[in-house]
Structure 1
C-alpha cells in the first residue's frame, strides 16, 4: 500500500456519500477537500484523485497530473465530457452502473497486485463424515504459514459452521450473514473484520456460515475469491457435497478441488456421485484418501476407481476427534493430517506455476 491516500474533491453531498461508501467497502481511507484550491497540499502526492462534476467544472487552478477520475450521477452529458477533457481526467465513472470500476481503483491503491497470484482451493467430502471440513482447515493453516497468507471460507451452510470446528464460535467478527460484497474488495480489510484462529505461523481469518447457517451469496464469494487471488492470498473453500450456486462458482474458478474419500469401497461409490457434478465444472481435481482399508487393499487401488489422481493418503490420526472436541485445532504439526495438507498445497502450487508459464 502507498503511504498517501486518495484525494476526493466533491461538493455534491450525494455523490460524496457514494464515493465514501465505495471506498469503505474497498478498505481505502481518503483525504477530502471541498474544492480544488483547498486540495493543493495533497494534489501532487495523492495516488488517485476523484472529482465530482462540480469540482471538475471549475477553472483549472492546479497542474495537470495523471490518475484523475470524474464521478457523476447517471450517464455523463456533453458538459461533463468537456470538463473531463479540459481537466485531464483519465476516466469518467457513472454511478451506480460503474460502481465496480470505482471500487477497483480504490482496491488497487490499498492492495497492489501480488507478484504471484493467490490460489483458490476447494475441499469436498466423498461422503458424510469423511473429514472434509477438518482437512480444509488444515490446508488453510498450512497455506497461512506461507508468504501471502490464507483465508478459510465456509461454503457449506449445513456443515455446522467452521467457526465451531476451530473453537471460534464465541469470537467476535463477521460471518457470511453480515458480509455483502460485490466487485473489487480488499481482502486485507475483510480479514481484519473476521474471527481469526491463532497458530504458530500467524493468525488465520475464517469466514464462517455462523449458527443460523446462512451461506455466501454468489457475488460475495466471487468478490472474496478474486480479491484473494489478486493479493497473493490462498483462499480455501469448504464445499458442500450437493453444490449450491456459490459452491459451483468456487469450483469453476478453483486452481484445485480436493475430494476427501475414506478408503472403503462403499465410500468410493458415494464419492463417484459427488465427482459427477464436479467434473462437469472443472478438470482440476485430486483425491486425498483417509483411513485404512479393512480388506487390506492399498489406498491407491481403492481410490483409483474414482479417476482423479491420488494426492495424499492419510492414516488415522490418534486423538484427533478428542483434540477437536476440546477446541485445540490445529493438531499435531507432523501428524498425518498436516503432512497430507502440505503435500496437497505443494502440488497445487506446482500446477499453478506450470499453468502460468
Structure 2
C-alpha cells in the first residue's frame, strides 16, 4: 500500500439543514451554532421560501417567529423539526410546535450545546459507528505504536475506511512513524483549539488522509493536552466516518484518552516483549484493565530462543494469545526511510494484522 496524500476524500457534499426565521438575532445565533457543527445551512426568511426544501433537509430549524405560520400552512409531516427561540419564549409557540410535531423546542442560550449536537447528528446522517480497536504497550518501547500503525495500514490496504488515532502525546507522532510528517492536515493541537463538535464529514476533510486511511496524530509541538470533551467528540466523529478506528493508547492511567477509547467497548491488544522484566511490567498494565469489559488479547514481540515462550506469557498475564511476531531485522532501517509498518505480504506483522482483521470480518485481502 502506498500512502498518497494527494488522494482526495470520497466525493459528495454534506447535507444542508434548513433554517426558517426572519429574526436577524436568532438567525445569527443559529448560523454560529451550525458553523460550530461543521455545516453551512440553507436559510429561508419565511415559510413560503422553505417549502421547496422542507422534505429533503436532514433537519429543519423553525424560528419561534415563524412557527405559527408554518403550522397554518399545514406543511407535510416529517421527522427532524426543531423549534428554536430565545428564553423566555412566547407561550403561544408551544401549540403550533405540537402541531408541527416538533421533536424539541430549543431555547437559547441554555439549549446551545444540545442544538449543536443535533445539527452535527443531522450532518453525519444515520451512519453506524465503526469498530474500535485499542493497542496498548505492556511497557515503554514494546512496539504498540508500530502494531497500531500496521493494523491501520493493513486495513486500509483492504479498502476498509480506517482512522488511526494517536493517543499518546509523548510518543513523537504517528505521522512520523508512517513517514508522513509533512502531510497537510490538522493535528491534535489544532483540534483542541476548535473546542467544538467534530462531525465525521468535517473530520475527514480536516485531518491528513491517504485514500481510505485518516490519521489523527500529535505533532512535535509543546501542546500535550486535549480537553476531554474535544477528545470524546473527535473519537465519536472518527467512529461515524470510518469502519475501523485504531487507537494507540498511552500507558499512563487514569487518562481521558484511555477512558474514551475503552468506552467504545472494542478489543484491546496488549503488546509485550518476550522477556521477564517486560512481562512483569505488563502485569501491572493489564491490572489497570481488570474492571473493563473489553476483550483483551496478547501480542508477543519475539521471542528469540532465549526468551519466554508466548504461551507462558499468556498464562502469566491471564489473557489469551493472539500471536507472536518475530523480529524483522531491517524494519528499523525501512522505517527511517519512511516506509510504514505492515507493508508487504511477507511481513510477519502484516500477517498477524490480516488474521486479526479476518476475525473481525473487516475487508477482504487485496
Aligned residues of 1:255 and 1:348 also touching (Cα < 8 A): no
Residue 126 (1) aligns with residue 138 (2): yes
Aligned residues of 1:114 and 1:232 also touching (Cα < 8 A): no
Q: Equivalents in 2 of 1:299, 1:3: separation in Å?
A: 48
Residue 46 (1) aligns with residue 41 (2): no
Shift of 1:245: 2.3
**Alignment partner of 2:248 out of 229, 233, 238:** 238
Q: Equivalents in 2 of 1:173, 1:143: separation in Å?
A: 21
Residue 153 (1) aligns with residue 179 (2): no
**Alignment partner of 1:23 out of 22, 30, 34:** 34
| 1:300-319 → structure 2 map (5 Å cutoff) | 300-319=311-330
Q: Equivalents in 1 of 2:237, 2:14: separation in Å?
A: 21
Q: Equivalents in 1 of 2:87, 2:132: separation in Å?
A: 36
| 1:208-287 → structure 2 map (5 Å cutoff) | 208-212=217-221, 213-231=223-241, 233-243=243-253, 244-287=255-298
Q: Equivalents in 1 of 2:195, 2:78: separation in Å?
A: 27
Give secondary structure in 2 for the equivalent of 1:305.
helix
**Alignment partner of 1:85 out of 75, 95, 98:** 98
Give secondary structure in 1 for the equivalent of 2:47.
coil
Q: What RMSD in Å do the two structures reach over aligned CA positions? A: 2.8
Q: Tell me the equivalent position of 1:355.
A: none
Aligned residues of 1:151 and 1:234 also touching (Cα < 8 A): yes
Shift of 1:80: 2.5
Give secondary structure in 2 for the equivalent of 1:328.
coil
Q: Tell me the equivalent position of 1:11.
A: 22
Shift of 1:340: 1.6
Give secondary structure in 1 for the equivalent of 2:327.
coil
Q: Equivalents in 2 of 1:242, 1:172: separation in Å?
A: 29
Q: Equivalents in 2 of 1:301, 1:72: separation in Å?
A: 64
Moved more, 230-239 or 320-329: 230-239
Q: Tell me the equivalent position of 1:72.
A: 85
Give secondary structure in 2 for the equivalent of 1:153.
strand
Aligned residues of 2:87 and 2:109 also touching (Cα < 8 A): yes
Aligned residues of 1:176 and 1:207 also touching (Cα < 8 A): yes
Aligned residues of 2:138 and 2:270 also touching (Cα < 8 A): yes
**Structure 1 residues not aligned, in runs of 5+:** 351-357
Q: Equivalents in 2 of 1:344, 1:100: separation in Å?
A: 39
**Structure 2 residues not aligned, in runs of 5+:** 1-11
Moved more, 105-114 or 216-225: 105-114
Aligned residues of 1:10 and 1:52 also touching (Cα < 8 A): yes
Q: Tell me the equivalent position of 1:55.
A: 66
Q: Tell me the equivalent position of 2:9.
A: none
Shift of 1:341: 1.7
* Matched pairs, number: 345
Shift of 1:331: 4.3
Q: Equivalents in 2 of 1:283, 1:90: separation in Å?
A: 35
- The alpha-carbon distance between structure 1 residues 344 and 96, as it changes in their structure 2 partners (threshold 3 A), is farther
Q: Write out per-residue CA displacement over residues 255-288 of structure 1, whole angstroms, 9 at most, x where no aligned residue.
A: 1111111111111111111111122334421111
- The alpha-carbon distance between structure 1 residues 215 and 34, as it changes in their structure 2 partners (threshold 3 A), is same
Q: Write out per-residue CA displacement over residues 93-141 of structure 1, whole angstroms, 9 at most, x where no aligned residue.
A: 23344445434443444333346x4111111111111111111111122
